[in-house]
Amino acid sequence: MQLRRGDVLGGAIAILDEYGLGDLTMRRLATSLGVQPGALYWHFPNKQTLLAAITDEMLARVSAPLDAQDWDARLATYAHRMRDALLAHRDGAELAAASYSARLATNDARDTLARACVEAGLPDDESELAADTLLYYILGQTMDEQSRMQMDSHGALVEDASPLYDSTSGTARFDYGLSLFVDGVRSRLRAAVRD
């Protein structure tokens, strides 16, 4: 029963979901697969690359085709898909942020966001910048949401300075920032029309 690349990936995701990113070590992964640590390096050149592969796996479905709609609804749907994909795995947002930061993620989520901005009517160069802006927001907000979940689950019922923090659901918080972004794009479009 030989080890396949997919087995390594699957084992890594299993550890991620059960114990979190901090406990996802090459040694622990090797043990869970019944193999020596060095064996993993035949399938992945290093840990960073393995983590990036998990990120790509996580985000593989966000770029799937969408029912035709208004550009703002499309943009919002892509953003929500991405958030949902990150939320589906423990520390998913932190993992994705690390992979993007290391420039090892090869999924097309960013391109999809950029394309949606082009379809909205933004110039190509602005669309790239807008996509990055939205991407940073999604990663940051979702990271925050997941670290909050982690704190809650660890029995720390520290009441926040702002009571709104607890009462406002993660989705509502997410939607607020998202609407700020979409409104920003909208006013850029209007400005372009006036010229």
Partner DNA sequence: ACCTGAACACCGTTCAAGT
Q: Which residues bind DNA (CB under 7 A)?
A: 2-3, 23, 25-28, 34-39, 41-43, 45-48
Out of 85, 96, 113, 139, name the contact with a copy of itself by CB under 8 A.
139
Q: Which does 47 bind (CB under 5 to 8 A by kind): a copy of itself, DNA, none?
A: DNA
Task: For residue 101, state whether it binds a copy of itself (rule: CB under 8 A).
Answer: yes
CB-nearer residue toward DNA: 79 or 98: 98
Out of 17, 57, 84, 144, name the contact with a copy of itself by CB under 8 A.
144
Q: Which does 121 bind (CB under 5 to 8 A by kind): DNA, a copy of itself, none?
A: none
Q: Which does 106 bind (CB under 5 to 8 A by kind): DNA, a copy of itself, none?
A: none
Measured between alpha carbons, how far is 16 from 32 in angstroms, rounded to an integer? 12
